[in-house]
Amino acid sequence: MALSAQRRRTRRLALLARLAATPFRSGARPSRESALDLDKAVAALPPRAREVFVLHDVYGYDHTELAQLLGIAIGTSKAHLHRARCALREVLEP
Amino acid sequence: MNHRHALELLDDFLDGELSPALSADVQRHLDGCVVCRAREGQLRRLVARARALPDLAAPVAELWEGLRRRAETARRRPRVGPGLAAWPIAAAATAVAVVGWLSLPSSSPGGAGQIQPSRTVGAAEVAGHAGAIGRLSQVILNVGDMGAQVAFYRDVMGFAIVYPQAAAGDLARETFVRFDTGGAFLVLHAGRAGRAQRDEPRLSFMTDDLDLARAVLVSRGVEVSRVRSPAPGVLVVDARDPEGNAFHVEARVPAQER
């Protein structure tokens, strides 16, 4: 039991470390204007939905990883992503 | 599959989280439902834009800062086993952090915290690494009084706020404010070994007219040093913001005027 808790903890810290090693995106970029629109819309999201959206849709983490990284249930992670995408969709394509 | 059910499953459908059978069900519904197809298109465009989000995106920087803090909190907890024994205790407060740099402990070789590389990088790729890390885009200053520091960098230094949008209001309760200064470089100064851990990182602003810059700062009540020349062709004045963070304003003298 204790070993399992330690494994989970180690895995969570490993995920954080992997995140630390992830360089910021470069290369193909959308137009400045469109990026700033999205930037602003993301900034307006509730904190948890924003975290989940950025980690999932920008950095490509999956829900299992997010659940461990953020200490939430997989279903909760999915719900936050759904909420974030709905809000962003409405802002960007009214 | 009914319309409502298909809409609920769209996120998982796009992310490839559904079983093949369920995924085929959603696809069949999409083929016959113009509303759901439009929604799917919107979501796909949104995700494509998110994937290409540039590094200057404010929420991303803010998020990294939050995760860095969380990582530090995790590190301060008592260690739970021999696997984590190699994790060093790091300075709790870092005056200036570069975005993208997450202050995390390194793990011992073969230890439980060992991070395996996700792919093998060839020698040629390593040799041609120039630019792989990206550019230093900003310097982060941890502040105690956001209201006062915003007032200084906005009103005294005259930088435009690019985040948050409602920059005219009271920003004292903001957790993250970004100014556009026109650019940023990371500069390492050698020959100061005795001061390496003592001197805080310094913000450096480049001006075309040092006398004017100095006069502006003085007129706004900032205590500014006299102009000094630390190197041939380089002129600087030193000052501090209200919380004591050192900065200097620098000008370069063209060679023919030296």
CB proximity B46 to A under 8 Å: yes
Give me the residue spans of the domains in chain A: 31-94
Instruction: Please tell me which residue, B51 or A19, carries the higher pLDDT value.
Output: B51
CA distance A24 to chain B (A): 6
Which chain A residues are closer than 8 Å to B164 by Cβ?
A: 43
The CA R_g of chain A, rounded to the nearest whole Å, is: 15
List of E strands, B61-217: 96-98, 139-141, 160-163, 178-180, 203-206
**pLDDT averaged over chain B?**
68
CA distance B59 to chain A (A): 5
Q: How far is CA B222 from CA A55, A93, B96, in A?
A: 41, 47, 22
pTM: 0.42
Which chain A residue has its CA at the smallest distance from B136's CA?
A: A24
CA distance A65 to chain B (A): 14
Q: For A32, list phi and psi in degrees, rounded to 5.
A: -55, -40
Q: In CATH, what number does A31-94 get?
A: 1.10.10.10
Q: Do B134 and A26 touch (CB under 8 A)?
A: yes
Rounded mean pLDDT of B154-173? 76
Q: For B247, list phi and psi in degrees, rounded to 5.
A: -145, 160
pLDDT band with cut points at 50, 70 and 90 for residue B29? very high
Q: How far is CA B164 from CA A80, B145, B150, in A?
A: 23, 17, 12
Cβ atoms A82, A88 nearer than 8 A? no
Instruction: Please tell me which residue, B32 or B231, carries the higher pLDDT value.
Output: B32
Angle at B62 between CA B108 and CA B112, to 5 degrees: 15
CA torsion angle B185 A40 B150 B153 (round to 10): 40
- Cβ-in-10-Å burial (0-12, 13-18, 19+) of B237 comes to buried
Question: Residue B24 has what pLDDT?
Answer: 92
Q: Do A10 and B112 touch (CB under 8 A)?
A: yes
B63-119 confidence digits (pLDDT tens): 555 665 555 555 444 333 333 222 222 222 222 222 222 222 333 333 333 344 445
Mutate to test the interface with A, among B47, B55, B63 (most CBs of A within 10 A): B63
Q: How long is chain B?
A: 258
- Helices B58-76/A32-43 angle, 10° precision: 50
Cβ atoms B237, B224 nearer than 8 A? yes
Which chain A residues are closer than 8 Å to B113 by Cβ?
A: 10, 13-14, 17
Res A74 pLDDT > 60: yes
Angle at B25 between CA B22 and CA B29, to 5 degrees: 145
Find all residues with CB under 8 Å of B55, minimum gap 6, and list them: A24, A25, A26, B99, B100, B134, B137
Which amino acid belongs to residue A30? P
Rounded mean pLDDT of B124-146? 66
In chain B, what are the domains? Answer: 13-51 (no CATH), 144-257 (3.10.180.10)
CB proximity B107 to A under 8 Å: yes
Ranking A71-85, B134-148, B187-201 by mean pLDDT, the lowest is B187-201
CB proximity B58 to A under 8 Å: yes
- A-B contacts at Cβ under 8 angstroms: 133
Provide the ipTM: 0.71
CB proximity B133 to A under 8 Å: yes
CA distance A1 to chain B (A): 13
Distance CA B117, CA B36 (A): 40
Q: Do A30 and B57 touch (CB under 8 A)?
A: no
